[in-house]
Chain A
Amino acid sequence: MTEEALKDLLYKIADDLLILGHRNSEWTGVGPLLEEDIAFSSMAQDKVGQSLAFYNLLHELGEQDPDTVAFTRNANQFHNSQFVELPIGEYDFSLIRHFLYDHADYIRFSMLADCPIEEIAQVARKLKGEIKYHVMHANTWIKQLATANEEAHDRLQKSLDEALPYALGVFEPSKFEKEIIEAGVYPGEQAIEEQWKENIAIVLEQAGLNLPDWNTIKPVYGGRYGEHTEHLQPLVEEMSEVFRVDPSADW
């Protein structure tokens, strides 16, 4: 397996975490309830911290230091899925994204915890424990709100329907998919996708939310190789605004 293949994997994980972490932080101060404001802020801190763990791994493989990588690239140089760059929308959309994305990362980190590359396995083992709380939080709120009243149910169903094609984009196959699987790094995106479909179906059923036939949903790919929506460039500019004022400053 080439180093390029490994970096491809690490970049997409790191970028997903950084961008979603940033989106989560946009709820700080404006959450619908104090506790939920705190929850999204805390999850934002978790995710940004987790992205740093992966940027550090990339740095050890010869990429530039994490601050440079996180704050000086342009949108078309990012490898996050389009799903995570979408605006936070209303709380129903953010909860649905939180639910769909975190279930996927839980499976991803569980698989990577068995990676033969020790440094990656160590990071994954740690993250697996932390993301459990994210998943449990999402499950609780999805179930509670979807069964609360008609408006809550309809909002969540609508957001779910809008989110699913983008969520499938998280599993966009890598250029090096075959190579990575053959090297035993992890079982691959399709394996995560299959487990994810099973896991979310259980909770969605408990919540009374419908999953359409997967065959009717077209995944939104492109994010992994620099194709992004119009939302990413403004996000990147805002996220890196303070850093870019003085990239050599000591914070």
Chain B
Amino acid sequence: MTLTEDKILELLKEVKDPEIPVISLVDLGVITGIEINKDHVTVNMTPTFIGCPAMDYMKQDVVDVLTKNGIDNHTVNLNLKTTWSSDLISDEGKRALKKFGLAPPPVHNNVIEDLDIIEHAECPNCDSTNTTLKSPFGPTLCRSLHHCNNCGEAFESFKPI
């Protein structure tokens, strides 16, 4: 196989978030760079949240997918050189999140001044914004808790960060 950045990206699309198995690491925006030097492949990743326990698993999954495809000469780095932002989630990723039942994060452009930004998340079930924020903290570091007054569904939202 000829090693190109695009080819590696294709392989990485196989690697899903272990807790949200509908979204790939590529769509999540945690793959920050791919370098190819002769036959050595370097993949750089950044964590969504520093305390996220899924990151070690994701890093190992990247190693596994490279090895599985015959790329034994590799380095996978998880570091903070690039700060992850939820704005890096691709449109395809956002669609996948919504279909899964998780409201995708609003675009924030690095301006998060108060909780207003998540006060009226769009319900992934019925699209209404007549919703109530129950807590900015949820079952995982990346999620907040909401309730839809329109359809009565309780739902979680991916936090803008």
Contacts and interface: CB of A to CB of B under 8 A. Distances in A.
A46 B52 CA distance: 8
Q: Which of A47, A49, A50 is the most central at the interface, judged by chain B CB atoms within 10 Å of its CB?
A: A49
Interface stretch (B12-20, B35-43, B136-144): B136-144
A62 B49 CA distance: 25
Contacts of B136: 39, 133, 136-137
B158 to A, nearest CB: 13
Nearest to A44: B51
B80 A49 contact: no
Contacts of A43: 137
A123 interface: yes
A52 B80 CA distance: 13
B80 A46 contact: no
Q: Which of A43, A130, A133 has the most CB of B within 10 A?
A: A133
A181 to B, nearest CB: 24
Contacts of A41: 137
A159 interface: no
A213 interface: no
A39 B134 CA distance: 10
A109 B56 CA distance: 24
Interface in A125-175: 125-127, 129-130, 132-133, 136-137, 140
Nearest to A128: B83
Interface residues of B, number: 25
B115 interface: yes
Contact-residue size bin, chain A (C-beta under 8 Å from the other chain): 20 to 34
B80 A122 contact: yes
Interface in A174-224: none
Contact of B51 (A36, A50, A122, A133): A50
Given A122-B80, A136-B114, A127 B137 contact: no
A53 interface: yes
A127 B45 CA distance: 17
Contacts of A126: 47, 50, 80, 83-84
B161 A38 contact: no
A153 B35 CA distance: 57
Nearest to A121: B80
A130 B161 contact: yes
B141 A38 contact: no
Given A133-B137, A137-B136, A46 B83 contact: no
Interface string B123-150: 0000000000011111111000100000
Identify which of A39, A125, A136 gathers the most chain B CB atoms within 10 Å of its CB.
Answer: A136
Give the residue among B47, B51, B136 with the most A Cβ atoms within 10 A.
B51
Contacts of B145: 35, 38
A48 B161 contact: no
A52 B55 CA distance: 14
Contacts of A125: 80, 83
Contacts of B134: 35
A233 interface: no
A136 B139 CA distance: 18
17 contacts: A35-B145, A38-B137, A38-B139, A39-B135, A46-B49, A49-B141, A52-B50, A53-B50, A123-B80, A125-B80, A125-B83, A126-B47, A126-B50, A126-B83, A130-B141, A132-B112, A137-B136
Given A39-B137, A130-B141, 6 more contacts: A41-B137, A49-B49, A50-B50, A126-B83, A127-B50, A133-B136
> Top 7 A-B pairs ranked by shortest CB distance?
A49-B51, A42-B137, A35-B135, A122-B80, A39-B137, A49-B50, A45-B51
Interface of A: 35-36, 38-39, 41-43, 45-50, 52-53, 122-123, 125-127, 129-130, 132-133, 136-137, 140
